[in-house]
Amino acid sequence: MAARVLVGVKRVIDYAVKVRVKPDNTGVVTDGVKHSMNPFCEIAVEEAVKLKEKQLVKEVVAVSCGPQQVQETIRTALAMGADRGIHVEVSGKDYDALGPLQVSKIMAALAKKEEANLIILGKQAIDDDCNQTGQMTAALLDWPQGTFASEVVLEGDKLKVVREVDGGLETVKLDMPAVVTADLRLNTPRYATLPNIMKAKKKKISVVKPGDLGVDVASRLEVLRVEEPPQRKAGVKVETVEDLVSKLKEGGRI
């Protein structure tokens, strides 16, 4: 029986917000914009809590990396049923440059420190769409991985994962400890009910720095420019099929 599950949760711009690029093209506007937990991370938390409710795991620990505000996200995970939280404090320039490589180093270090048997992450974050953290974490730990999971079944000390791949569904069996990343159809996350949010206030969130874990968060990437996608230009209406064909020829399309 797995003792401890680590769940990574990321604070991202809310999916319903219209994202705008900063005037200096260095990034997107985050000031004063509504943020919430990455939807795939919600699914990951839900899966971990479900395992706990089935008594297949003992403890669910929610982890997030970032400035003070990420504690709100951890609190939401606690309200959904996680037992305690770990806030890895990264702020300012370091936070802007924080990417999957750094986060997976942190997750790997924490997994060792907390003696976790299972790490569940969202398959990707809706802000950068990297889809790398789970895979990198598994590689750093040299653990098996089950990514794009649409079903997870714990059978003794083995993990059966059904993966959604381009060709259809693939079922793999992993030895524990392992890393799983959650895909959309894994489950439907529960609402954090208000009574649970109140109970979550009493749960603990410990704060650590990447340095304490022996992790170097320096980035190897430099963002040169962020731009909006080109404006969609208006189309042209034509009267007949002949007109259409000639227009296409003119434009060099055929």
Partner 1 sequence: MSLNRLVLFSKSVRCKNLLTPLIGQFRSVTTIQSQRSFRTYARNLVYAKDLFLGKVNKAEVFPYPEIDKEELEEIKQFVGPVEKFFNEDVDSKRIDHEAKIPSETLNGLKELGLFGMQVPEEYGGLGLSNTMYARLGEIISLDGSIAVTLAAHQAIGLKGILIAGNEQQKAKYLPKLAAGQHVAAFCLTEPGSGSDAASIQTRATLTEDGKHFLINGSKIWISNGGLADIFTVFARTEVVDKDGQKKNKITAFIVEREFGGVTNGAPEDKLGIRGSNTCEVVFDNTKVPIENVIGEVGGGFKVAMNILNSGRFSMGGACAGMIKKLIELTSEYAGTRKQFNKSLSEFGMIQEKFATMALNAFVMESMAYLTAGMMDRPGMPDCSVEAAMVKVFSSEGAWICVSEALQVLGGLGYVKNYPFERFLRDCRILLIFEGTNEILRMYIALTGMQYAGKILTGKIKEMKKGNVGVVLQMLGKKVRESVSSTVDLGLTGNDGVVHPSLADSAKKFEENVYYFGTTVESLLYRYGKTIVDEQLVLKRVADVLINLYAMTAVLSRASRSISIGLRNHDHEVLLANTFCSDAYFKNNFLMAQLQKNAPENNDDSMKKIAKEVLEKRAYICSHPLERTF
Figure out which of the listed residues 3, 198, 207, 223 binds partner 1, where binding follows CB under 8 A. 198
Please, what is the minimum distance in Å from the beta carbon of residue 14 to partner 1? 9
Decide if residue 79 touches partner 1 (CB under 8 A). Answer: yes
Task: Taking the CA atoms of 86, 142, 138 and 60 in sequence, report the sign of the dihedral they define.
Answer: negative
Nearer to partner 1, 72 or 128 (CB): 72
User: Are 63 and 44 contacting, i.e. CB atoms less than 8 angstroms apart?
Assistant: no
Decide if residue 3 touches partner 1 (CB under 8 A). Answer: no
Figure out which of the listed residues 195, 230, 235, 252 binds partner 1, where binding follows CB under 8 A. 195
Can you spell out the DSSP letters for 4-71?
A: EEEEE--EEE-TTS---B-TTSSSB--TT--EEE-HHHHHHHHHHHHHHHTTSEEEEEEEEEESTTHH
Number of residues that bind partner 1 (CB under 8 A): 14
Nearer to partner 1, 198 or 244 (CB): 198
Decide if residue 32 touches partner 1 (CB under 8 A). Answer: yes
Q: State which H helix or E strand residue 120 sits in.
A: strand 118-122
Figure out which of the listed residues 75, 87, 123, 163 binds partner 1, where binding follows CB under 8 A. 75
- What does the angle CA 67 – CA 68 – CA 72 come to, to the nearest 5 degrees? 115
Nearer to partner 1, 71 or 102 (CB): 71
Q: Candidates 124-132, 166-174, 192-200, 208-216: pick the segment binding partner 1 (CB under 8 A).
A: 192-200
Whole-angstrom CA distances from 89 to 55, 68, 80, 250 are 31, 7, 22, 58
Nearer to partner 1, 69 or 206 (CB): 69
Adjacent-strand bridge partners of 149: 163, 182
Interface residues with partner 1 (CB under 8 A)?
A: 32, 36, 72, 75-76, 79, 191-195, 197-198, 201
